Structure 1
Amino acid sequence: MSTPTSTAPDTGPALRLLSLGAGVQSTTVLLLACEGEIPPFDVALFADTGWEPRAVYANLRRLAIHAGKRGIPVRQVSAGDIRADALDPRHRFVSMPLHTLNPDGSRGLARRQCTKEYKLVPLKKAARELLGYPHPRRVPRGVYAEQAIGISTDEFTRAKDSGLRFLRNTFPLIDLGFDRTRCVDYLTERGFGATVKSACVGCPFHGNAGWRWIRDHDPLGWAEAIEFDRAIRHGYPRATTQGQQLRGQYFLHRSCVPLDQVDLDAPTRTKKHLRLITAEAALGADTEEDGDPDGCSPWSCRSGEPVPGSGKRAA
């Protein structure tokens, strides 16, 4: 779906890559390639933040075995452990999109840099290395890798180009007309029906449904999230040790309430009730339950920007 920037004849991609998150959509893309429904990949790249749910890592291990038997290697790349780095006062500060409660009572969202640093950077680095032109070597014009992204038809607005001359994004699920429901059905038919959404355990984009799933299915992850939520209440250790303490407070949950005090089981408003309120309020209600619709997919995230409608930035 990307448009070449050169007028030179396109000789085709030097490599075919898959950006593998090991969630529903990207798992579907990998299985489609394994079954010959789409062309095979030279490598499937998983950008590991170090803090995915244990179910995601289990699925990744299974996929590596399954795809490896069909000649598609699954390779993990990483820029570090996001949870450990954020809590380490010696580590360089990298902002997560934490929810903020400002001194005047207003709410906001901190800048999101984590997706760029923990997903985009290692994926781009790996692509350059696989092409044979590691930084700072310049990738010659006309040499590029084709990178498949697991975005389904119901998320088509998230389909974006990489912004890089040597990396061209493609969207097999959109080309095949697969929405998320069809992906789930496809996975279930092939014994991968237990595949869960890929996102960091402590991702501030989780809605109540996401937090409930972690609480009920990943108790160790839930304990880590609660501990992390407490630790960042007044700023990251790196910032506070340097006298840069936040004037407000940080939270993982969008309510700006400590995670272990949030009522995650409170019933959400029904569609009937949603029809009685404004469209903006209805969107907020959906987001509260289901999480931010854009999430933090590395190739569709608005890195460095607040989520629209989230209010002020942190003071």
Structure 2
Amino acid sequence: MTARNLPVSDSQPALRLLSLGAGVQSTTVLLMACEGVIPRFDVALFADTGWEPRAVYVNLERLRRYAEKAGMPVRTVSAGNIRTDALDPRHRFVSMPLHTLNPDGSRGLARRQCTSEYKITPLKKAARKLLGYPHPLRVPRGIYAEQAIGISTDEFTRAKDSGVRFLRNVFPLIELGFDRARCVEFLTEWGFGETVKSACVGCPFHGNAGWRWVRDHDPEGWAEAVEFDRAIRHGYPRATDQGQELREQYFLHWACVPLDQVDLDAPARPKRHLQSITIGAAPGPEVGEDGDPDGCSPWSCRSGEPVNGGDPDVDARTGERAA
């Protein structure tokens, strides 16, 4: 299905899409569309990093069946598996916001581009294809897809435009006045009360509560995270393989302690917002019990990265590569 043959119009979207993370908020938005609370979507797109909790994939498959009965396809798009890519010396460097411990004892935060590479880029490519203008075709002015994002009222500062001309973000939960608690109530009413937060198993933005949840509810994911944490202690295999000198030590947990040695059940220190920390600078961030509030939802995180993923050859306004 594409929208390429539709007439050019600057007032109506050619397609209505949902950026589906299969977490609490976006699950609420999809169910609302299925039940007629809000208009239906032409397609719901799940950007798969390959390292979500098992519970998220279970919920995704249930949502896929539920939405298909309502005539709305749920499709998965992916740029690869972030965990295996990061540990593969043959793969291009994967930039995750790992916590760093410097030789002088100061701490910092590594650069983040993983949201752009593993979520924004595949979603943008999928939207182009659905509109009928895959790269390198240019999307004509006036042709665009409306893209719903699951941001609730308690997160309204995260609501941002897509930064590309052919995608216009809308925020149904904010329009309806739904906060996260109301989303949980809605999900419970419709039999989806067990929906969990969507985030990579090994996301360095987890607070202690997030890590406890992985440890206690996803033992396979916990084992993967512990092993990943060990593997990146002195840098990514690609950097090590190429002989790059990396003096810092890298960690998944904000305390810069091996993940399996952190006392996750002890009271965490007061939280400091990650974005108050300069990338690579000291002192390092402390995200305490709850983790960073901004998360890594496409187009709504405050990572300091432009929506084109930092690629200088891509126009941030159009999402198209320069000639």
TM-score over 0.5 for the pair: yes
Separation in structure 2 between the aligned mates of residue 119 and residue 78 of structure 1, nearest angstrom: 7
**Equivalent residues in 2 for 1:120-269, closer than 5 Å:** 120-268=120-268
Aligned length: 290
Q: Which amino acid aligns with 1:138?
A: R
RMSD: 2.0
Separation in structure 2 between the aligned mates of residue 229 and residue 76 of structure 1, nearest angstrom: 27
- Whether the aligned pair in 1 keeps the contact of 2:229 and 2:258 (CA below 8 Å) is yes
Deviations 1:3-22 (A, max 9, x none): xxxxx973300000000000
- Whether the aligned pair in 1 keeps the contact of 2:107 and 2:285 (CA below 8 Å) is no
What residue is the counterpart of 2:88 in the other structure? 88
Identity over aligned pairs, percent: 82
Q: TM-score if structure 2 supplies the norm length?
A: 0.86
Q: Which amino acid aligns with 1:155?
A: E
Q: TM-score if structure 1 supplies the norm length?
A: 0.89
Separation in structure 2 between the aligned mates of residue 110 and residue 128 of structure 1, nearest angstrom: 31
- Whether the aligned pair in 1 keeps the contact of 2:254 and 2:286 (CA below 8 Å) is no
- Whether the aligned pair in 1 keeps the contact of 2:46 and 2:77 (CA below 8 Å) is yes
Q: Which amino acid aligns with 1:34?
A: C
Separation in structure 2 between the aligned mates of residue 234 and residue 245 of structure 1, nearest angstrom: 10
Listed as ranges, the gaps of 5+ residues in structure 2 are 1-7, 277-283, 306-323
Displacement after TM superposition at 1:298 (Å): 1.1
Displacement after TM superposition at 1:268 (Å): 4.0
Runs of 4+ with >4 A deviation: 278-281, 283-286
What residue is the counterpart of 1:293 in the other structure? 293
Separation in structure 2 between the aligned mates of residue 64 and residue 159 of structure 1, nearest angstrom: 25
SS state of the match for residue 100, structure 1?
A: strand
Q: Which amino acid aligns with 2:90?
A: R
> Higher helix share goes to which structure?
1
Deviations 1:164-187 (A, max 9, x none): 110000000000000000000000
Listed as ranges, the gaps of 5+ residues in structure 1 are 1-7, 306-315
What residue is the counterpart of 1:112 in the other structure? 112
SS state of the match for residue 95, structure 2?
A: coil
- Whether the aligned pair in 2 keeps the contact of 1:116 and 1:303 (CA below 8 Å) is no
What residue is the counterpart of 1:99 in the other structure? 99
SS state of the match for residue 147, structure 2?
A: strand
Displacement after TM superposition at 1:246 (Å): 1.4
Separation in structure 1 between the aligned mates of residue 285 and residue 111 of structure 2, nearest angstrom: 23
Separation in structure 1 between the aligned mates of residue 226 and residue 167 of structure 2, nearest angstrom: 38
Displacement after TM superposition at 1:245 (Å): 3.5
- Whether the aligned pair in 2 keeps the contact of 1:56 and 1:196 (CA below 8 Å) is yes
Separation in structure 2 between the aligned mates of residue 126 and residue 303 of structure 1, nearest angstrom: 23
Displacement after TM superposition at 1:104 (Å): 1.2
Separation in structure 2 between the aligned mates of residue 285 and residue 143 of structure 1, nearest angstrom: 42
Separation in structure 2 between the aligned mates of residue 175 and residue 280 of structure 1, nearest angstrom: 27
Deviations 1:269-313 (A, max 9, x none): 6xxxx7xxx9989x99993100001111111123455xxxxxxxx
Separation in structure 2 between the aligned mates of residue 151 and residue 299 of structure 1, nearest angstrom: 11
